[in-house]
């Protein structure tokens, strides 16, 4: 469905989404389109802003104690559900390789988004209690600020196109995360070293890898921005200086993709 060619339908769906009357599969499809299409996302935000303005005109109402209990239970339930979904997704990723890992990333981000939307919806039950709701909103914002923001992904494969390493980068936390998804094990006197291959200039070392299945390296966004390819070479134990470039064979290589969602 191309909502951009049907402005009237887009307005109807955006208003229903903001009101909460768009439910089930239709709501999920609308959220998916909003993530992919900026005009759809803007329409939803505009309608949410309109409803927020209407709420300003409503008289303050003191909710019953049971309302706060329901809000608390909803928030805790969504947090628990999101955490369990992330654990299940990670477990599936470790057992099935790259494809499952990518699905787990989608599930994890979807669970986080659903939890955030449900929490915000619960918090807006009583607009008259903004001061008390303010603490809950601030807590939610803090949670979203510390959540991983994966913006770059690369699948590094050998010369037979067998995936061996999955790389993600969180520029906010300045962390490169590498997950071994193949069976390769370097010898005891050797180390794997990660390299950025920029479009101009020589390779730049991003760090020497340990032997753990899940590895993390510190890097700034300037180290990976506009870098089209990452590579892993086999080097003497401890790696080699960045200035020398790779001295051993390049075992794994792959395109670094910047996610746009």
Question: What pLDDT, in 10s, does the model give residues 13-37?
Answer: 888 888 888 888 888 988 888 888 8
pLDDT at 125: 46
Higher pLDDT, 192 or 95: 192
Higher pLDDT, 108 or 151: 151
Beta partners for 224? Answer: none
How big is the CA angle at 145 (ends 140 and 150), to the nearest 5 degrees? 125
208, pLDDT greater than 90: yes
124, pLDDT greater than 90: no
Angle between the N-to-C axes of helices 38-56 and 24-36, in degrees from 0 to 180, rounded to the nearest 10? 120
Question: What is the spatial distance between Cα 119 and Cα 141, in angstroms, rounded to a whole number?
Answer: 11
Out of 4-18, 64-78, 151-165, 182-196, least confident range: 64-78
CA neighbor of 27 nearest in space, from 37, 14, 45, 38? 14
pLDDT at 229: 94
* Total residue count of the chain as it appears in this document: 261
- Contact status, residue 217 vs residue 178, Cβ threshold 8 Å: yes
- 125-160 burial code (b ≥16 CB/10 A, e <16): ebbebeeebeebeeebeeeeeebeebbbbbbbbbee
- Contact status, residue 187 vs residue 198, Cβ threshold 8 Å: no
- Average of per-residue pLDDT values in the chain: 77
pLDDT at 127: 47
pLDDT at 23: 87
């Amino acid at each position: 469905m191309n909502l951009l060619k049907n402005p009237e339908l887009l307005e109807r769906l955006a208003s229903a989404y903001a009101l909460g009357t768009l439910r089930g599969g239709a709501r999920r499809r609308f959220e998916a389109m909003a993530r992919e299409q900026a005009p759809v996302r803007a329409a939803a935000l505009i309608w949410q802003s309109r409803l927020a303005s209407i709420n300003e005109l409503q008289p303050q109402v003191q909710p019953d104690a049971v309302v706060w209990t329901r809000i608390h239970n909803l928030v805790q339930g969504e947090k628990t559900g999101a955490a369990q979904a992330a654990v299940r997704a990670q477990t599936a990723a470790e057992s099935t390789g790259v494809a499952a890992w990518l699905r787990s990333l989608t599930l994890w981000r979807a669970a986080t988004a659903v939890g955030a939307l449900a929490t915000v919806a619960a918090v807006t039950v009583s607009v008259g209690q903004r001061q008390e709701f303010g603490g809950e909103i601030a807590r939610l914002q803090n949670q979203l600020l510390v959540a991983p923001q994966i913006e770059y992904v690369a699948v590094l494969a050998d010369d037979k196109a067998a995936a061996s390493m999955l790389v993600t980068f969180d520029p906010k936390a300045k962390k490169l995360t590498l997950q071994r998804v193949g069976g390769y094990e370097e010898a005891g006197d050797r180390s794997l070293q990660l390299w950025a291959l920029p479009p101009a200039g020589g390779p730049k070392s991003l760090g020497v890898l340990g032997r753990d299945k899940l590895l993390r390296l510190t890097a700034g966004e300037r180290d990976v921005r506009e870098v089209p390819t990452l590579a892993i070479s086999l080097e003497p134990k401890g790696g080699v200086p960045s200035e020398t470039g790779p001295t051993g064979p390049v075992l794994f290589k792959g395109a670094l993709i910047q996610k746009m969602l």
